[in-house]
Amino acid sequence: MKIAVTFSTLSGNTALVANDLVDYLNNNGHKAELFDVINTNPDQLKEHELVFFGSSTYGDGDLNPITELFFSTADQQNHNCNNTHFAFFSLGDSSYPHFATSGKISSEKIEPMQGNILEPVLQIDGYPNQATYQKSRQWADSILTQLK
Ligand SMILES: Cc1cc2nc3c(=O)[nH]c(=O)nc-3n(C[C@H](O)[C@H](O)[C@H](O)COP(=O)(O)O)c2cc1C
């Protein structure tokens, strides 16, 4: 199965999680490719059966502006991703009233584009550490199990 791990980041935290995830997947018999959303056209993800889609949360529980731009490009292209499964990981900080909501918002953007949404959204609190990586690896395994 072709897997994409994407990240959209302002200060690097989402990239840390994505990098760890792609290494973990490739070291465990999968074929995963890393995409920085800032340089990615939505169509590039179409050839992947599964996308782990990572974004951080800014403003008042909003998508970060890079993810916003990605989805507005996808809208303009009438993007359809009905051959792709999506699982969302979402960075944030629980001191904010709307904690790590970017994953849920991203999922709501992908739904009308007919992407196949896998649950749950993974929410990550604060600066990533070893415990974060353990949690995101386990989450990725549980997502992959759903596709067996
Ligand atoms: C100005 C600002 C606004 C933020 N707003 C939120 C928010 O509404 N909800 C949340 O959960 N985290 C919020 N955060 C925290 C970031 O999502 C968090 O630091 C995340 O790890 C950043 O990831 P990134 O480096 O990949 O962009 C905010 C951070 C900043 C600097």
Distance CA 112, CA 71 (A): 11
Ligand 1 atom 12 nearest Cα: 92
Asked, for residue 11, whether it belongs to a domain, the answer is yes
Asked, for residue 73, whether it belongs to a domain, the answer is yes
- pLDDT of 52 reads 98
Asked, for residue 148, whether it belongs to a domain, the answer is no
Mutate to test the pocket of ligand 1, among 56, 64, 105 (most ligand atoms within 8 A of CB): 56
Q: For residue 56, what pLDDT band results from cuts at 50, 70 and 90? A: very high
**Each residue's pLDDT tens digit, 75-122:** 999 999 999 999 999 999 999 999 999 999 999 999 999 999 999 999
Residues of the chain with pLDDT > 90, as a percent, come to: 99
Instruction: Answer whether 40 contacts ligand 1 (Cβ < 6 A).
Output: no
Q: What is the CATH number of the domain that holds 132?
A: 3.40.50.360
Asked, for residue 98, whether it belongs to a domain, the answer is yes
Is-contact 5 34, C-beta < 8 A? yes
What is the count of structural domains for the chain?
A: 1
The residue with tokens 């529980």 is 61
Domain limits at 95? 2-142
Asked, for residue 147, whether it belongs to a domain, the answer is no
Asked, for residue 15, whether it belongs to a domain, the answer is yes
Q: How many angstroms separate the most distant Cα atoms in the chain?
A: 39
- Mean pLDDT, range 45-58, rounded to an integer: 97
